Structure 1
């Protein structure tokens, strides 16, 4: 490399070209991993928030349609309102209820068939979901028109024993993401073609994924003969992870037939509200 002269005859050192950086295999792999990580985070964000918010709206709409179907069936085949057998009594939730006698219990439906709508005011004034038979991931828990599945072999709504259901906490509608926010005495309403079943939340428990004892007839008590009507709601925990499960337990409070109308707390949501 030689020096250069300017117009006045002065010589200047030649400018050396900057050496080119060598591209290393490790560097390329690192950049690819960073890019892949960003894409994964974007996908998780899309699945958790955007996709789930869209799916939640669809599940809510499907539940409204199912609720209306129950009301239409009641109009086509009206059932008389049972005569109350007791005067109103104060409940744990601070409300008054009328005893319409033993609640009717339906037969278990076929796999993936819708049979109930669940309302939990603590999850939002307009929150509702369809309950289908089985907890199959693809046909029930991930579906746009359900979101909540019923554990086969556990009790049906109003039946003595444990009515056990499950749903995702995050993704596919974020159905049970607020289970941990339940407070003692919170109402859990189940609407079926036979009427409305009210349960009251009692307590939460954090359990490993293998803890099937929460599905026993008397939750957590193996071999016990149930004399009460329970509800158990299960989901993954903590949110965005699945290392463990959270189980919410409740106890049956009352039942009322379609002809008596829905409980006041959900009256505006029943039938498509």
Structure 2
């Protein structure tokens, strides 16, 4: 006699009324749910666009800086093929006059920042006048390249070409070259320091001994820290190494980049 087994209520083996023995749950789609998903997607796309635009904009502006630097170098006139440095050197470095606000007076080359790195330097550190449009700004009332004291400059670390984007990557001994109408000045990177925005003593003639006249030639580069914030300042100190007039040619390390 054949016995038909009756499934017990709640039996795991009991077939579902749906085909294939599987339970199915109907989803409930609401207008608010769809709207929420669309807003999240739109937000993500906007953030990606802003990030891409900033990255792309920095590349474009950095190229503009490089082109402007080349044009300025050319405007200074042709330079000679690098000549051997005389045994006695070239004497005390020649010092240019203080530039007026937004006036381009030189070019900075930093091999550590890239083989083609070349950025114009201009008078003043106003955001709209110099930093956003030209590149590197010279602090008024600080010294000029090669002058005894402190040659101090500022530059963006992000946006507007970000000329000091890699300032934290400088290593002790790195060379920094400055070109002006008078010649080429070489500085050697010494150390980094992090200070609050109010600590303006880093711009003093001798940042290590505030209020004291110095016999040293120093260069100070400042930018914001951390990235995308103005909470504090990152400061790079370098010391004067040497100089040579334009008639002696450009330093070998940047000779291929100088367009004079």
Q: Per the shorter chain, which TM-score range?
A: 0.7 to 0.9
Secondary structure, counterpart of 2:218 in structure 1: strand
Instruction: Return 5+ residue gaps in structure 2 as ranges.
Output: 1-26
Report the counterpart of residue 161 of structure 1 in structure 2.
149
1:251 to 239, 253, 258: 239
Report the counterpart of residue 124 of structure 1 in structure 2.
114
Q: Indicate how the Cα distance of structure 1 residues 56 and 99 shifts in structure 2: closer, same or farther if over 3 A, else same.
A: same
How far does residue 44 in structure 1 lie from its aligned partner after superposition?
3.3
Task: State the aligned residue count.
Answer: 232
Q: Indicate how the Cα distance of structure 1 residues 212 and 254 shifts in structure 2: closer, same or farther if over 3 A, else same.
A: same
Which has the larger Rg? 2
The alignment's TM-score, normalised by the length of structure 2, stands at 0.81
Report the counterpart of residue 223 of structure 1 in structure 2.
211
Q: Does 1:21 align with 2:45?
A: no
Q: Does 1:62 align with 2:68?
A: yes
Q: Indicate how the Cα distance of structure 1 residues 207 and 41 shifts in structure 2: closer, same or farther if over 3 A, else same.
A: farther
Q: Indicate how the Cα distance of structure 1 residues 268 and 45 shifts in structure 2: closer, same or farther if over 3 A, else same.
A: same
CA–CA distance in 2 between the matches of 1:240 and 1:37? 19
Secondary structure, counterpart of 2:243 in structure 1: strand
Secondary structure, counterpart of 1:71 in structure 2: coil
- Taking the TM superposition and a 5 Å limit, the aligned residue runs for 1:103-114 are 103-114=93-104
Instruction: Return 5+ residue gaps in structure 1 as ranges.
Output: 1-17, 76-80, 88-97
The alignment's TM-score, normalised by the length of structure 1, stands at 0.77
Q: Does 1:99 align with 2:89?
A: yes
Q: Is the 8 A contact 1:71 1:271 kept in 2?
A: no
CA–CA distance in 1 between the matches of 2:218 and 2:29? 72
Q: Indicate how the Cα distance of structure 1 residues 39 and 70 shifts in structure 2: closer, same or farther if over 3 A, else same.
A: same
CA–CA distance in 2 between the matches of 1:200 and 1:105? 18
CA–CA distance in 2 between the matches of 1:62 and 1:239? 26
How far does residue 20 in structure 1 lie from its aligned partner after superposition?
7.5
2:126 to 128, 132, 136: 136
1:199 to 179, 187, 203: 187
RMSD: 2.6
CA–CA distance in 2 between the matches of 1:58 and 1:208? 31
Does 239-248 or 105-114 show the bigger shift? 239-248
CA–CA distance in 1 between the matches of 2:228 and 2:209? 30
How far does residue 42 in structure 1 lie from its aligned partner after superposition?
2.2
Secondary structure, counterpart of 2:192 in structure 1: strand
CA–CA distance in 2 between the matches of 1:141 and 1:148? 6
Q: Does 1:46 align with 2:34?
A: no
Map Cα deviations across residues 197-253 of structure 1 (whole Å, 9 max, x no partner).
Answer: 111000011112222111111124321101111000111122233322110000001
Report the counterpart of residue 11 of structure 2 in structure 1.
none
Secondary structure, counterpart of 2:77 in structure 1: helix
CA–CA distance in 1 between the matches of 2:192 and 2:103? 28
Report the counterpart of residue 223 of structure 2 in structure 1.
235
**Structure 1 runs, 4 residues or longer, greater than 2 Å off:** 18-24, 27-38, 238-243
